[in-house]
Structure 1
Amino acid sequence: EFPQAEELIYLNHAAVAPWPARSRDALTAFAQQNVDRGATDYPGWVAVESRLRKRLAELIGAASAEDIALQKSTSEALSVVAWGLEWNAGDNIILCRQEFPSNRIPWESLQSQGVEIRYLDLASAADPEQAYIDLMDRNTRLVSVSSVQYAGGLRTDLVRLGEACKARDVLFCVDAIQSLGALPFDLNECHADFVMADGHKWMLGAEGLALFWVNPEIRERLKLYQYGWHMTREASDFDAPSWHPADNAKRFECGSPNMLGAHVLDASLSLLQEIGMETVSAAVLERSEFLIERIQGSPTLELLSDPTPQRRSGIVTFSHRQIEPTQLHQQLMQQRVICACRGGGVRFSAHFYNDLDHIEQAVLRAEQLK
């Protein structure tokens, strides 16, 4: 399923993942249909999109595929929430300083409305969930977190934090891009009100298509600011004299769907579902454990990620005791170890299919650099 170039060791799934062969085949077949017959097969494309919504609903434990909206990106979905809610001057939102800009900028844009942003510094928080809880007060409207932090891979206890938010009537928003496709996720356990994730990382899809889930009980609290033919109840009646927003999550999809991206992501998720997320997750964590133990035992490398078992994810970040992180990253890339420079070090992010021997080779190459 992953016929990558032999000289390549790809450890960058936390950035942009390579597609499985079946996703390439799905894209090729879709393109050939379009070349040969245009949109003659459009009803079949819609069926693929519907199947994708069902797969995504199953991935997060949503009650219905109708609760899944397809967005262009995590950033777009976060912006739908940030600018869809009604805010009052003095309301506050809690974030951590180490968030990726997608989960920071939409909230910070609300400061012009008098919304206060409260920041948690993960670097100094021995108990991150308690630190979030301690920042809450009667003016806290929302807490937004990443299920897994992008730089160091710290895994958030979503159940504990979600329960605390629910008890305080605080909205809970989860950017799940660094966990969906790699780790189990269950809406019924974490009490999230909003969940979003691009498909191009651990879900092995293409850029430009993201999952967006809103708790159906509060869906209509989000005012709409994008409008078009696709987000109405009357979407199939182009001559309808009046219109109403769809009663399901499609109300957040203003225009034509990304059919190309849907075919790719549907094929990629079919692979993950065939293997089973428990098996995928066990394999991802096995590779992280291997990396953590290997780096901890290295005389030249220093582990930066939290090694605590319950905090582990698919991301392992480390530094070299003698080489500056940017230079280390550049040298590894030159040796065809595909990784990222993040969190003051180099980030490896192995998926379930990465061979342990190849991961060992990547660590050896890092150790041997000067």
Structure 2
Amino acid sequence: MNNKLIIDFIKPEGIYFLNHSVGCFSAEQELVKNEYFNLWKKKGGFAWDEWLPSISKYHEALALLLNGKENEFCYQNNISTGFIKILSALPRRNERKKILISDLEFPSIILILKKFLQNEYEIKIIKSKNGMVPFDEWEKELDINTQIAIISHSTYATSYKNSIHQIANKCRDHDVFCLIDIAQSVGVIPIDLQDLNCDFVMGSCIKWVCGGLGAGFIWINEKMIENLQNRLCGWFSLENIFTEDIMDFKMIKSASQFLDGTPSVLPMMLATVSIHKIKRIGVDFIYNINQKYIDSLINFISDFKSLSILSPMDKNQRGGTLVIKSNDDQNLLDFLLKKNVYVDRKENYGIRVSPHVYNTSEEIEQFKKLLASYTD
């Protein structure tokens, strides 16, 4: 693995552990950004001839990273938009009036469910225990009355890694639609969509993939596409985006029908470069580095009575983030921010620390020293 791929990332000054929020920019992306603006300056509206292929290139890159098929991916500006489109397109099954989700899902996902579907469905929220939702809790609730289950691969607040293969298989047993949110796992945990028996995936390139803002996506199992009734569409949903025949609209016969109006090209261009970079570095390699750093921090923190770990101790149950608890989380956060350490806090959980492949062993040791000085 070429070390140039790693040092090419441009980190803010200090110790950067906010990779669960926004991954770092790279020098390659700087070149792509300049290419986009130069094309715009030189060609104006005729730049579309060179911009349009960015959509398929983005889908191709995602397929390569996640072992999917290009026709199963669809660009979305963000996860919320993609989620709403999936929900609105699901075939209604009158006997199925339950939607299953846990309280560890990102709040906006539950917000969307309540705003769009609570009058039509019972939204059953599984309660977590100690930051985790064991598989048997999902198993108890999945039944023939369930329309869809929504599960994060790795939860945003505790970094608990759900048993997505088991859950997806149980969904299949009961003919329940299964949607996996990989926002906090794509780019740091290896994912093989061909091995994942689910119907939908949604994710974003802003975090571990280091793709920047505005590059989300949905993946739709090709077996599902013809059963969906896409209602939230636009001219980019059509086989011929330039058609003027208002009596005969033909939708794209792939996941790309879930495009809508004019897409944001620059985010796709920036993300595509970064997806290829992450693929070349290797997600397995990134995962091993990430977990090595987290294990080292856990071993260190275990010596301090005033600090504890909320994220799972077992790496088989843990995503890419270490969640630290203290006697006063806000005070610890303020201390670390003053020392130029990039972390954040979730009020009901703790301090989130997410080392990436471009973090160094020296930074981990510096972080340990800061924690030690805080506890003195």
Do they superpose with TM above 0.5? yes
Pick aligned residue for 1:328 from 327, 332, 341: 332
Deviations 1:106-149 (A, max 9, x none): 22234443301111112268761111011122201211110000
> Once the 2 structures are TM-superposed, how far is the Cα of residue 191 of structure 1 from its aligned partner?
0.8
> Once the 2 structures are TM-superposed, how far is the Cα of residue 239 of structure 1 from its aligned partner?
5.6
Closer, same or farther in 2 for the Cα pair 1:155/1:223, shift >3 Å? same
| Residue 319 (structure 1) aligned with residue 325 (structure 2) | yes
Partner of 1:159: 165
Pick aligned residue for 1:215 from 215, 221, 224: 221
Contact map agreement 1:87 1:115 (CA 8 A) in 2: no
Identical positions, percent:
23
Contact map agreement 2:55 2:75 (CA 8 A) in 1: no
Code of the residue aligned with 1:139 in structure 2: it is N
Contact map agreement 2:133 2:162 (CA 8 A) in 1: no
Partner of 2:88: 83
CA distance in 1, matches of 2:40, 2:296: 45
Deviations 1:60-87 (A, max 9, x none): 221x212110011111111112222225
| Residue 107 (structure 1) aligned with residue 118 (structure 2) | no
SS in structure 2 at match of 1:22:
helix
Code of the residue aligned with 2:58 in structure 1: it is L
Partner of 2:5: none
TM-score, length basis structure 1: 0.92
Partner of 2:366: 361
| Residue 338 (structure 1) aligned with residue 342 (structure 2) | yes
The answer for unaligned runs of 5 or more in structure 2 is: 1-7
- RMSD of Structure 2 on Structure 1 (CA): 2.1
Q: Paired residues, what number?
A: 366
Code of the residue aligned with 1:25 in structure 2: it is L
> Once the 2 structures are TM-superposed, how far is the Cα of residue 194 of structure 1 from its aligned partner?
0.6
The answer for unaligned runs of 5 or more in structure 1 is: none
Code of the residue aligned with 2:81 in structure 1: it is E
Partner of 1:35: 41
SS in structure 1 at match of 2:63:
helix
Deviations 1:293-333 (A, max 9, x none): 22223344211111112112210001223xx2123222212
> Once the 2 structures are TM-superposed, how far is the Cα of residue 349 of structure 1 from its aligned partner?
0.9
| Residue 3 (structure 1) aligned with residue 10 (structure 2) | yes
Contact map agreement 2:144 2:175 (CA 8 A) in 1: no
CA distance in 2, matches of 1:331, 1:125: 25
Partner of 1:250: 256
| Residue 51 (structure 1) aligned with residue 57 (structure 2) | yes
Code of the residue aligned with 1:108 in structure 2: it is K
Contact map agreement 1:78 1:102 (CA 8 A) in 2: no
Partner of 2:302: 296
Closer, same or farther in 2 for the Cα pair 1:281/1:152, shift >3 Å? same
Pick aligned residue for 1:191 from 194, 197, 211: 197
